[in-house]
Amino acid sequence: MLIHPQFDPVALQLGPLAIHWYGLTYMAAFGFFMWLAGRQIRQPWHARHGWVRADIDDLLFYGVLGVVVGGRLGYCLFYKPEYYSEHLLEVLYVWKGGMSFHGGFLGVLVALALFARKKGWSYFTVTDLVAPCVPTGIVAVRLGNFINGELWGREASASLPWAMVFPQSGTDLLRHPSPLYQALGEGLLLFILMWLFARKPRPAGAVSAMFLLGYGVLRFGAEYFREPDNFLGLRALGWSQGQWLSVPMVVVGAALLVWVYRRRAD
């Protein structure tokens, strides 16, 4: 029987300063983005818009702001709206945890719109460059979730070789290591698909649409192995909150992809 390794969440202690693994995974996510975006701007179809390295630095600033603000607000609104409506000040308590990918994603969309407006570029000029660079960050952050022993999976069969007990869950049930599933699915697999798709020039908006569709589908599937939040449980149709938040991504992504290619055909 496998048991979650119970990693020390503090990677390095320097006197009163504690550096957490979770923070390091975010730093890794930003580092991967900088490296991959730097490669993307060398592609001829991106270079003709006038991208330079300094733009990537600015883009990262906008993106980090969108992730933090959107992720926190999304968690408060999507997962605990009643609680935070009565404890408004605690919305600012980011050190207590509570971030939503879908909220962070919406925050990034707004941040990218502001960046595009500043540069005088079309929205898809920015999002099509960013989209293939995002999944490696998802890999890093999901590994951080696993190190913290959080977002554990639903109960798994004892015959599953990698099923494990997550002591943080307060039970001795064997569970799916769902953060690893998400790191491999909406992280590594999505990165490979997106990077291959973005290697050739595509109609404006196609790469962005593919990310929406790909992430939405992979996250929806992963939620079947992830334990729903105990304060929410399963929602309508037996779907989790994460699945319901993924449905609009799938619908919008698919519709956008069809629209983009039909527009080109016309």
Q: Is the pLDDT of residue 184 over 90?
A: yes
Q: Transcribe 85-137 into DSSP letters.
A: HH-GGGGG-GGG----HHHHHHHHHHHHHHHHHHHT--HHHHHHHHGGGSHHH
Whole-angstrom Cα distance, residue 237 to residue 99?
25
Q: Is 42 part of any known ligand binding site?
A: no
Q: Report residue 42's pLDDT band, with 50, 70 and 90 as the boundaries.
A: very high
What pLDDT, on a 0 to 100 scale, did the predictor assign at position 90?
80
Least confident of 100-104, 150-154, 208-212, 250-254: 100-104
Least confident of 24-28, 96-100, 174-178: 96-100
Q: What does the pLDDT average to over 138-144?
A: 94
What pLDDT, on a 0 to 100 scale, did the predictor assign at position 231?
77
Whole-angstrom Cα distance, residue 207 to residue 252?
13
Q: What does the pLDDT average to over 90-106?
A: 79
**Amino acid, res. 143:** L
Q: Is the pLDDT of residue 265 over 70?
A: no
DSSP 8-state code for residue 266: -
Q: Is the pLDDT of residue 219 over 70?
A: yes
Q: Is the pLDDT of residue 94 over 80?
A: no
With CA atoms as reference, report the closest residue to 254 among 210, 189, 191, 204.
Answer: 210
Share of the chain above pLDDT 90, in %: 73
Better-scored residue on pLDDT, 26 or 211:
211
Least confident of 147-151, 187-191, 207-211: 147-151
Q: Is the pLDDT of residue 96 over 70?
A: no
What pLDDT, on a 0 to 100 scale, did the predictor assign at position 266?
61
Q: What does the pLDDT average to over 55-68?
A: 92
Tokens of 54: 């300094």
Q: Is the pLDDT of residue 217 over 70?
A: yes
Tokens of 246: 């993924």
What's the mean pLDDT when you consider all of the chain? 92
What pLDDT, on a 0 to 100 scale, did the predictor assign at position 175?
97
What are the counts of helices (DSSP H) followed by strands (DSSP E) for the chain?
11, 5
Q: Report residue 92's pLDDT band, with 50, 70 and 90 as the boundaries.
A: confident
Q: What does the pLDDT average to over 143-171?
A: 94
Q: What does the pLDDT average to over 12-35?
A: 89
What pLDDT, on a 0 to 100 scale, did the predictor assign at position 222?
97
Q: What does the pLDDT average to over 216-232?
A: 92
